[in-house]
């Protein structure tokens, strides 16, 4: 089955949708801002969850090889 498409995991962020930098920034900012809102509302648990999600997303976005993603997207077209 060499022709089968590559399976992606649940948290694979290196997809062509995130090639524009502004989309990556919006995802991280929304998660962190929502976490700060939860903390200000007194929901410490949910605040930490969302801030952690934003941190993990930012880390995953920073280590992704965006040149390879763009090249793979070009090859598919």
Question: Predicted confidence band at 1 (pLDDT cuts at 50, 70, 90)?
Answer: very low
| 9 has pLDDT over 50 | yes
Residue 30's Cβ-count burial label (10 Å; 0-12, 13-18, 19+) is middle
Cα 51–chain centre separation:
13
Give 39 or 7, the one with higher predicted confidence: 39
* 23 neighbors 46 (Cβ within 8 angstroms): no
Please give the model's pTM, rounded to 2 decimal places: 0.81
Spatial separation of the C-alpha atoms in residues 75 and 36, rounded to whole Å: 41
Kindly list the domain boundaries of the chain, sorted by start residue: 20-76
pLDDT class of 70 with cuts at 50, 70, 90: confident
Please, what sign has the CA dihedral across residues 32, 36, 38, 43?
Answer: positive
pLDDT in tens, 35-53: 999 999 999 999 999 999 9
């Amino acid at each position: 089955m060499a022709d089968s498409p590559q399976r992606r995991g649940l948290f694979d962020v290196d997809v062509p949708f995130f090639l524009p930098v502004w989309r990556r920034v919006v995802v991280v900012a929304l998660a962190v801002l929502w976490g700060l809102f939860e903390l200000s509302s007194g929901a410490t648990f949910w605040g930490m969850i969302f801030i952690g999600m934003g941190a993990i997303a930012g880390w995953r976005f920073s280590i992704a090889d965006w040149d390879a993603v763009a090249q793979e997207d070009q090859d598919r077209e």
